[in-house]
Amino acid sequence: MADALSSTHSEPVWRERADFIIQAKLPEEGRFEQLWARQLAPDEFELCCIPFFLYDVSLGDVVATDPRAERRYVLNRVVRRSGRSVFRAFFDRASYRYRDLVSQQIADVGGLMEWSSPSLLAIDGRDDALATSIEALLREAHSAGQLIYERGRQSAGSKPNGAEY
């Protein structure tokens, strides 16, 4: 169910694996993020996109859903973590000229990416070594005034397997 308050993924990185779309509640009242996923069981899914707004959820994580109000499949908890890392880079209008350069650098080291808008880029690092390389690139670009970035994990101990959202 798409609506004006849902953030969507037009080009999920694992589109070929996906066979389902689930919802994730965002902190803002009435907002949801649609997540492309592969159904593993009636209410369990592997995420096939890089979350744009969620924290502590990554590409490849296996998640459980439950119904909430009129939405049937809403992310409830992470069942199994993939070990992948999420970063988000924000380019203000004055920094648009750096988008191609930064995204090429990320691709060159093996990072996967999805654009939410001309300003917001979600980035996946498949393991700790790649995540370290990606964060170094983002830190350098940030220091040069090219972007603002954040990690998609709030803290090392937050939202462990089985935590509810």
Sequential pLDDT tens for the chain (165 residues): 445 467 889 899 999 999 999 999 998 888 999 999 999 999 999 999 999 999 999 999 999 999 988 889 999 999 999 999 999 999 999 999 999 999 999 999 999 999 999 999 999 999 999 999 999 999 999 999 999 999 998 765 444 333 344
Q: Is 107 contained in some domain?
A: yes
46/111 same-domain check: no
10/44 same-domain check: yes
How many domains does the chain divide into? 2
Q: Which domain holds residue 61?
A: 6-80
- Per-position b or e across 15-34, b if 16+ CB within 10 A of its CB: eeebeebbbbbbeeeeebbb
CATH number at residue 118: 3.30.70.600
